[in-house]
Structures are given as structure tokens and as C-alpha cells.
Structure 1
Amino acid sequence: MIELKTPAEIERMHVTGRFVAEVLTEVGRIADVGVNLLDLEHHVRGMIKRRGAESCYWDYAPSFGEGPFRNVICLSVNDAVLHGLPHDYVLRDGDVLTADIAVSIDGWVADSARTVIVGNAAEEDLRIIRATEEALEAGIAAARPGNRLGDISAAIGAVASDYGYPVNTEFGGHGLGRTMHEDPHVSNKGQAGRGMKLRPGLTLALEPWLARTTDKIVYDPDGWTIRSADGSRTAHSEHTIAITPDAPEVLTRRPAEAA
């Protein structure tokens, strides 16, 4: 069932989205050589507690995970791209770090992810991050009333194709609002003009993620962390958006992006 939100409800999601953007900005600021992933996890726990927010990840137990998730942020490094379980790992120079977080404030959810490079950046890592960011912006631009869900998927997939990256379709974007995962599923590859018609009030998390040389994935023994099957490096960009009568509204835009 797809629930369309009112302008007032979208604004409440935007309040949550601003906080999510603040958290990801802070993670990007403090992620540095020598920082432990568990320190990042505990720093974010403190931010959530001080804000009076609620983690959407804590105790989350979907069919694809191994038991309840007992962390408040996903932290994935290098060839890990989704659902990275924070663990005792010290960041090294050149590491690619993806941070993904969803929280609820006063019953309304926002979800966002970004990939950053720790220390010195290799050009090929910058390139794949740039590809996911451009794919995300293309998907957002296609999220207009009268278009169809496939237009978003096709726009995301076209950018990946232009960069020469394969696209996995097992995990993608999704609806959200009162909960973290609502209908519909938003694939990162699809056909324009197909799928449900987009209407004002629809709120979506769009999240292109890519690996350099494969569209296949493997799971870590922890049952959560998803990696590229061939060990190639990855990137992931995600925003929560609302479709409005005039233009798509990004609810989790970080200040540096807006500038």
C-alpha cells in the first residue's frame, strides 16, 4: 500500500531529513585515518540521543539480515557497500567509507547515505563516487508528477551505463514515511515509461550504489555486510525526496551540496 503524504507531513519528514544530513556531515568530518568504526558508531548514537530521535536500524530484522541489527548506522568500507555492520576496524589512508543512516523523529522517517574517502583519494575511487552522485541527481530530476517509476530507474541506470559500471537490481530505493521501508521498490535500472505514475505526496529514498566491475554481491559471515563479489571497490549515494506539484524536494540535502 502506498501512502501519499500531505505538505504538512512532508515538512515533518524534512525536519528529520535535516538531522540525518547533519549526522552524515559530521561523520564525513570526523572519519579520518586512525578512527575506529566503533567510535563513529558511538558518536552517532550520542547525536541521536541528544536530538531525541529514534534509530530505524536498532533491532531491525528483515529477511535478508542475520538476526536483529544492533547498531544505529551502517558503515561499509572499500568493497563493502550496503548494510555494513560497524566493527573493530581502524580506518586507513585511502579507504572508501560509506555511511548510511535512517532515523525517526516524532514518527517520521528520513534515510540517506554518502560515500567519502579517508585521507588521500585515488582517482578511480573519486570516479565511482561521482557516478553514484550524478545517478542520484538524475533520478531526482526524473521524480516529477506525470512521470512513471521506470523513468527514475532508467535515469539512474543511464548514468551508471555512461560510466561503464554494471548495476545490481537486488537492492535499490524504496518508499518511506512512517516507517523506513514502504512501497514502492525503486530499482536502479529500468525502462522509461513503465511502472506506477508518480503523484504529489509520494516520498521515496533513491539510492544508486555501484561496484566497479561486477553486479554480483556476497555477504560477510556477520550476515549483514554486503560486498562486491569480486572485491572491487564500491560507492553509494542516497537521499529522501518528496514529489511535489512543482519539483522534487530533497529532504536530506546536506548544506555543502546545496551550496
Structure 2
Amino acid sequence: MIYYKTDEEIELIRLSSLLVGKTLAEVARHIQPGITTASLDKVAETFIRDHGAVPGFKGYGGFPGTLCVSVNDVVVHGIPGNQVLKDGDLVSVDCGVILNGFYGDSAYSFAVGNVTEEVQLLMERTKKSLYLGIEAAKAGKRTGDIGFEIQAYVEQFGYSVVRDLVGHGLGRHLHEKPEVPNFGKRGVGTMLQPGLVICIEPMINLGRRQVSQDKDGWTIRTADRKPSAHFEHAIAIREGSTDILSSFDEIEKVLESKK
């Protein structure tokens, strides 16, 4: 069952999603060699609660953290803990909040200190693939059109698209129908109609697409242990346009100020 949102509901999801962007910007201020992933998690939880919201991930399905902090070969769902970030690490941070009864959800991949050119390009191209997917997300198109654009772009660089994890609908629940794969064929999948709110979140591997799950039941790694990058926006399908509800602007202001 797909639940289409009213304009008022879309605005509430936008408020939640913008708070996620601000939270990730606050986390970005603290990302540096020597900090633990648990410290970043504490920063995020405090920030979210100070803004009248609650962490959307904490306790979700038993997940213990406010953030998913996924370092290097961890694709997604990394549990915050004692891991210390090192110079050259790639860290993807996924965050969700609940505000006014609606979820916000977004993710961004960060370079810790100085990363290799190979890792820098992986991040840049993964982010670019997200926006190509968003451009394809128009009323009358299908979810396969989104996945096709992402897949076609990243595979030309020899990267691979994770198949086991996909984007999703967003609203009063964190994961709603439909699923939004980051691979696919044009003209296939769920029809995109006005009022649909979805998260597009390419997870792109430097190496092969196969992944494995750690014994903790959460952490997803690349099977070949090569790095993976992840970016995510929440968007609403409108008549004749696509509306990005989350924002990277605050995050990128912080990153620019740290240069």
C-alpha cells in the first residue's frame, strides 16, 4: 500500500528532513581524525533533542544508535561505538528524526582528513549519481528510471551498485512503500505520482557489489572490503517537478569552512 501525502504532510516531512541536514552539519563540525563514532552519535542525539525532535533510528528494530556511522568498507548500518576515525577514512553518516509525527531521513559521506584521489572520486560520483536519480524522478516515470540513471552513471567508472539495499517511501513510518532500487531498467517499477515521498540513496562500491552482514545483525560491509559511499535525499513528486525536501547546504557550508 502506497500512501500519497497532502501538501501539508509534505511540508511536515520537509521540516523533519531539514532538521536532519542541520544535524549532519553539526556532526560534520566534529568529524576529524581521533574522534570516536560514539562521540559523533552523542553530538547528533543532543542536537536533535535540543530541536524538539527525537532520533528516528534509535530503537528502530532494536538499533542502538542515533546515527548509522559507516566507515570505509561498511556500506550502511554501522553501529556507533569505540571506533576511532583516522586520517584517510571515508565515513558515511545516515540520520533520521521524528518531528511532528513525520520522519526525516538523509545521508552524507565525508572524507576524514586527507583521502586518496580514488576515494574522493568515489564520493563525488556517488553524490552526482544521487542527483541524476532525482532528475529522473518525475511524475509519470517509474522507479526503474531512477535506478537506471544511477546505475548507468556509476558503472562507467567500474563501480558497482549494491543490490541488497534500496531506497524507500517516507512519511509517518521510516520505511514505506515503494522500494526504490539504485539499479534497474527504464519504464519498469512503481509509477511515480504526485504526493509520493521517497528517499533515493545510492550505495556505491569501489569494487564488487556483493555485501555481507556482521554478526551484530546490522553492519553491512562490502564482501571484497573495498570502500563504499552513500548519499541520500528525501524528495516529493509534484505535478511537473521534483521537490528535494532534505538539504546538503548546511553540511557543505561547514565543510567549506573547515578547508
**TM superposition score normalised by structure 2:** 0.94
Kindly indicate whether residue 59 of structure 2 is the aligned counterpart of residue 59 of structure 1: yes
Match of 1:216 in 2: 210
Pair 1:104 & 2:85 matched? no
1:21 to 2:21 alignment: yes
Aligned residue runs from structure 1 range 1-259, under 5 A: 1-61=1-61, 68-255=62-249
Aligned partners of 2:225 and 2:4: how far apart in 1? 40
Question: In the alignment, is the contact (CA less than 8 A) between 2:28 and 2:251 conserved in 1?
Answer: no
Distance 1:247 1:163 in 2: 29
Deviation at 1:221, TM superposition (A): 2.5
Which structure 1 residue ranges, 5 or more long, are not aligned? 62-67
Deviations 1:62-113 (A, max 9, x none): xxxxxx1111110011111100000101111111111001111011111110
Give the deviation of 1:257 after TM superposition.
7.7
Task: Give the Å deviation of 1:161.
Answer: 1.4
- Give, in whole Å, the separation in 2 of the partners of 1:258 and 1:251: 16
| Inter-partner Cα distance in structure 1 for 2:249 and 2:17 | 12
> Using the alignment, how far apart are the partners of 1:121 and 1:243 within structure 2?
36
Partner of 1:64: none
**Alignment: residue pair count:** 253
Separation in 1 of the partners of 2:190 and 2:252? 30
Give yes or no for contact 2:169–2:199 (8 Å, CA) kept in 1. yes
The answer to whether the 8 Å contact 2:87/2:114 transfers is: yes
Query: Closer, same or farther in 2 for the Cα pair 1:256/1:40, shift >3 Å?
Result: closer
Equivalent-residue separation in structure 1 for 2:177 and 2:13 (angstroms): 17
Distance 1:248 1:23, change over 3 A: same
Distance 2:27 2:66 in 1: 13
The letter of the residue matching 1:201 is G
TM-score, normalised relative to structure 1: 0.94
Aligned amino acid, residue 219 of structure 1: Q
Q: 1-side partners of 2:104 and 2:44: how far apart? A: 15
1:244 deviates by 0.8
Partners of 2:50 and 2:71 lie apart in 1 by 27
**Which secondary structure does the structure 2 equivalent of 1:113 belong to?**
strand
Runs of 4+ with deviation above 3 angstroms: 256-259
